[in-house]
Amino acid sequence: MTSAPGALAHLRVLDLSRVLAGPWASQLLGDLGADVIKVERPAENGKGGDDTRGWGPPWLADGEGRPTVGAAYFLCANRNKRSLTVDITRAEGQAIVRELAARSDVVLENFKAGGLAAYGLDYASLSGINPRLVYCSITGFGQDGPYAARAGYDFLIQGMGGLMSITGRADGEEGAGPQKVGVALTDILTGLYAGNAILAALAYRERTGQGQHIDLALLDVQVACLANQAMNYLVSGRAPRRLGNGHPNIVPYQDFPTADGDMILAIGNDGQFARFCAIAGHAEWSADERFVTNAARVRNRAELIPLLRQATVMKTTAAWIAVLENAAVPCGPINDLAGVFADPQVRHRRLHVEMPHAAGGSAPQVGNPIHLSATPIDYRLAPPLLGQDTAAVLRELGRSDAEIAALRAAGVI
């Protein structure tokens, strides 16, 4: 915890998004100090709120050990937020959202393109109430184009956007075929792009007083994040192929077997390669014209990699790491998640955080990787229970307890 106000403590974010890309963006803004109000569907027949509240197991237990707090998936993207339940299909609910939008700096939503217009909660409607509003829409395919009406999901976009075509074992190897990444990476990257775009729009507003609409698409983000692989194709005209854990432009830069498991070698220049060869007892490799430069090693990877594998199995992973780190040759283990959170560097950097939860006990969190010297990240609010802050937010809008009770009885909140 910190006593310094966050860098964005002067901002209010009205978050109408759910699942991952939007909530990831709003959690980032909340970590940086913004007051984030998460708008969720009221509970009905035991269900409601962000879909990910029910995406378990595993479930977080309450203070009595009962698994009733919510799914771990929900917990990953919803700290530093207040939960307000509102039925936006009802006129009374729409009025609440509009009133909040009038007092907010940012609206974040991930409904289908045009989906909020029917409720008067689209950008055109809300910017008419609040011209300073920064309104960020996240969809699968954007606000226009032939696919604009389609729903978009991370797995689908990883396939359509090319990521799966370059992920997985190479053709001809056992288990060959396209693979998705082990986390919903496109959603995460879209959330990060959204956070950057929102901050840019707020900076523009500071100069002009005008808000604007941000149109973000999962497909756009995935294509943009192909990075060097996209440029490899655009420059050469040849579609990159799957290389397993190999790198298309650097060799050796992949996993290798050891006497007791596996390790990663990430050799980025010829000097590192020469030092590795000397330690491996094969200094002649770094003088071989087939391997002397990285470009040569890329051309001749099929000859080099088997030689390296025969050498790396002669020591344990720990033994290799000890000698290679001492020689400034980049290497490391392949940790499972238990190994990650036991790692002394991960522990030192506070990447495992425990936050007191409203249901009792604590909620584990993965720490934010941003370290700001003057306005550090503040873990103020654990991921909320559904509707935990509804009454408090409505009181801020001037609603009396009687009015709040009437809204609740009518199923609006």
Q: Is 187 a catalytic residue?
A: yes
Same domain, 213 and 302: no
Same domain, 87 and 162: yes
Q: What is the three-class DSSP state of 99? A: helix
Q: Are 384 and 392 in contact (CB under 8 A)?
A: no
Same domain, 32 and 166: yes
Inside any domain, residue 343: no
H-type helices in 259-381, by residue range?
270-279, 294-299, 301-312, 317-326, 337-342, 344-348
What per-residue confidence (pLDDT) applies to 162?
97
> pLDDT tens digit string along 139-170?
999 999 999 999 999 999 999 999 999 999 99
What per-residue confidence (pLDDT) applies to 67?
76
Same domain, 158 and 73: yes
Same domain, 177 and 258: no
Label residue 63 by pLDDT band (50, 70, 90): confident
Same domain, 314 and 381: no
For residue 205, give its domain range. 12-224+349-409
Neighbours of 300 (CB within 10 A): 15
Angle 383-389-394 from CA coordinates, rounded to 5°: 150
Label residue 68 by pLDDT band (50, 70, 90): confident
Question: Is this structure's pTM higher than 0.85?
Answer: yes
- Give the number of C-alpha atoms closer than 13 A to the C-alpha of residue 289, restricted to the C-beta side: 0
Same domain, 78 and 134: yes
Inside any domain, residue 3: no
Same domain, 167 and 53: yes
Cα gap 233→220, rounded to integer Å:
17
Label residue 3 by pLDDT band (50, 70, 90): low
31, 187, 220, 389: the active-site residue = 187
What per-residue confidence (pLDDT) applies to 250?
96
> pLDDT tens digit string along 303-348?
999 999 999 999 999 999 999 999 999 999 999 999 999 999 999 9
> pLDDT tens digit string along 198-257?
999 999 999 999 999 999 999 999 999 999 999 999 999 999 999 999 999 999 999 999
Number of domains in the chain: 2
What per-residue confidence (pLDDT) applies to 2?
52
Cα gap 35→26, rounded to integer Å:
10
> pLDDT tens digit string along 347-376?
999 999 999 999 988 999 999 999 999 999
Same domain, 106 and 17: yes
Tell me the helix, strand and coil percentages in the chain, rounded to 5: 40, 15, 45
Does residue 393 carry a pLDDT above 60?
yes
What is the residue-averaged pLDDT of the chain? 96
Inside any domain, residue 220: yes
Same domain, 18 and 113: yes
